[in-house]
């Protein structure tokens, strides 16, 4: 196992790899992340493939934030204000103060 930068560079040259870490199983080189996924029988995601996962995560987090804020303020996570805060949180910090100050 490489312990210094010189050792790491030597392993990269020896195995013709530009990336680290490299995975070894029983002294046999498996490779990097994608190679390890293949070795374990897992799906390897194409880096050029369009994915909406970041968008889904963003909206899920902002929905949870809005419901938490509504629950703290009104005692109910499912309010019209929660929907307004969801939009404000999703759009960024510019809309947050203007939606937080008005509690109709």
Q: Say what the pLDDT of residue 96 is.
A: 46
Q: What is the mean pLDDT of the chain?
A: 83
Q: Are 95 and 88 in contact (CB under 8 A)?
A: yes
Residue 91 and residue 65 share a domain: yes
List pLDDT tens digits, range 45-84: 888 888 888 889 999 999 999 999 999 999 999 999 999 9
Kindly tell me if the per-residue pLDDT of 103 is higher than 80: no
Kindly tell me if the per-residue pLDDT of 99 is higher than 50: no
Residues contacting 74, CB < 8 A, separation 6+: 81
Backbone phi, psi, residue 29, to 5°:
-75, 125
Can you give the residue range of the structural domain that contains 20? 5-39
Number of independent structural domains in the chain:
2
CA distance 2 to 43: 29
Q: Are 19 and 32 in contact (CB under 8 A)?
A: yes
| 35 found inside a domain | yes
Q: Are 59 and 83 in contact (CB under 8 A)?
A: no
Q: Say what the pLDDT of residue 95 is.
A: 47
């Amino acid at each position: 196992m490489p312990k210094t930068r010189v050792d790491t560079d030597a392993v990269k040259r020896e195995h013709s790899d530009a990336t680290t870490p490299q995975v070894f199983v029983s002294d046999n080189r498996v490779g990097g992340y994608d190679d390890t996924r293949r070795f374990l029988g897992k799906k390897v995601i194409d880096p050029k493939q369009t994915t909406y996962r970041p968008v889904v995560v963003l909206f899920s987090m902002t929905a949870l934030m809005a419901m938490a804020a509504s629950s703290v303020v009104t005692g109910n996570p499912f309010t019209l204000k929660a929907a307004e805060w969801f939009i404000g949180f999703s759009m960024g910090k510019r809309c947050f103060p203007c939606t937080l100050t008005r509690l109709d």
